[in-house]
């Protein structure tokens, strides 16, 4: 049996801890019979074990999602294990139920929700609302070679922020939600700013500020992908190639690539 789960990006700027999107970039696990040692600390195996015993099984992985770059590699691993375990156990679970099972392992519902449900999702209190099949703009990702541990990035955030900053981000989050629901590029462009988390992660994600100060032709905004360091650049439809080429020229040491949204989440490959 083979299962796959997509890469994801969380926050999308001001949608801190609530917004996520799934991309057409997949990790896979193939599960067969085995009599050797199973790494019970592996995140896929741990998630699998919430439904079925991993004993007597083999786990073979294909990893395409860059690790610790803000593209949801850990959420993909948890989604792989949950879906595979449920299939082996012969039980059907909704995306909400799988999310609840996986939260103790992943800890970031926005990433895990998108990995399980696909498309563009909002999540809160253990619930998932998939509000769109696609984003209202193309996506070009600038993926540095450096890695950022989510736990360390979260530790950079202050316990309190000024009221002005909270109000600013709440307003941009409302614009983001409206942009996603309406499929509006102009509202997405207006939402592309945040004061709750992005400023505090700037040192580990220096490309975000640089790109925002000088957007390539055809780009309408940019956001940090999860806790970074990857930057997502929103591009006008039909101009993705122009944006990709310009960013590749500016950042030759980064992996610059177009990403498309997948409307399907984790499932059999």
CATH homologous superfamily for the domain 138-259: GHMP kinase, C-terminal domain (3.30.70.890)
Helix (H, G, I), strand (E, B) or coil at 206: helix
- Please, which residues have CB within 8 angstroms of residue 108's CB and are 6 or more apart in sequence? 10, 17, 74, 75, 150, 226
Stated as kind and residue range, the H or E segment containing 151 is helix 150-155
Structure-derived torsion over alpha carbons of residues 115, 118, 119, 120, reported in degrees to the nearest 10: -40
Looking up tokens 């509202």 gives 187
Given a cut of 90, whether residue 151 has pLDDT beyond it is no
Phi, psi (degrees; rounded to nearest 5) at 219: -95, 145
From CA 218, how far away is CA 222, in angstroms rounded? 12
Could you read off the pLDDT of 222-237 as tens digits, one per residue? 999 998 999 999 999 9
- Please, which residues have CB within 8 angstroms of residue 202's CB and are 6 or more apart in sequence? 208, 209
Domain ranges of the chain: 2-132+262-268, 138-259
Q: Provide the percentage of residues in the chain whose pLDDT is more than 70.
A: 100
Could you read off the pLDDT of 81-125 as tens digits, one per residue? 999 999 999 999 999 999 999 999 987 899 999 999 999 999 999
The predicted structure's pLDDT at residue 106? 86
Q: Using CB atoms within 10 A of its CB, is residue 164 exposed (0-12), middle (13-18) or buried (19+)? A: exposed
Structure-derived torsion over alpha carbons of residues 121, 124, 126, 128, reported in degrees to the nearest 10: -20
Helix axes 73-89, 109-117, angle to 10 degrees: 50
From CA 209, how far away is CA 204, in angstroms rounded? 11
DSSP state of 36: S
CATH architecture, domain 2-132+262-268 = 2-Layer Sandwich (3.30)
Least confident of 3-17, 136-150, 239-253: 136-150
Give the count of alpha carbons within 13 A of 213, CB side only: 5
The predicted structure's pLDDT at residue 19? 97
* Pairing mode of beta strands 267-268, 120-124: unpaired
Looking up tokens 């948890």 gives 78
The predicted structure's pLDDT at residue 196? 93
């Amino acid at each position: 049996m083979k299962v796959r789960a997509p890469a994801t990006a969380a926050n999308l700027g001001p949608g801190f801890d609530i917004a996520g999107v799934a991309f057409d970039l997949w990790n896979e696990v193939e599960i067969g019979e085995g009599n050797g040692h199973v790494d019970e600390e592996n995140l896929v195996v741990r998630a699998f074990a919430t439904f079925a015993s991993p004993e007597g099984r083999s786990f073979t992985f294909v990893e395409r999602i860059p690790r610790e770059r803000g593209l949801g590699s850990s959420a993909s691993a948890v989604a792989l294990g949950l879906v595979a375990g449920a299939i082996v156990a012969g039980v059907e679970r909704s995306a909400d139920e799988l999310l609840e099972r996986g939260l103790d392992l992943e800890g970031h519902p926005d990433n895990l929700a998108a990995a399980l449900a696909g498309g563009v999702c909002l999540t809160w209190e253990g619930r998932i609302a998939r509000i769109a099949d696609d984003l209202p703009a193309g996506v070009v990702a600038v993926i540095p070679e450096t890695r950022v541990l989510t736990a360390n990035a979260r530790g950079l955030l202050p316990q309190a922020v000024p009221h002005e900053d909270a109000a600013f981000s709440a307003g941009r989050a409302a614009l983001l939600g409206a942009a996603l629901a309406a499929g509006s590029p102009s509202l997405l462009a207006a939402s592309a700013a945040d004061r709750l988390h992005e400023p505090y992660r700037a040192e580990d994600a220096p490309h975000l500020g640089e790109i925002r100060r000088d957007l390539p032709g055809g780009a309408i905004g940019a956001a940090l992908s999860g806790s970074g360091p990857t930057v997502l650049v929103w591009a006008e439809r039909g101009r993705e190639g122009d944006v990709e080429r310009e960013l590749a020229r500016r950042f030759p040491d980064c992996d610059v690539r177009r990403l498309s949204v997948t409307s399907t989440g984790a499932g059999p490959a």
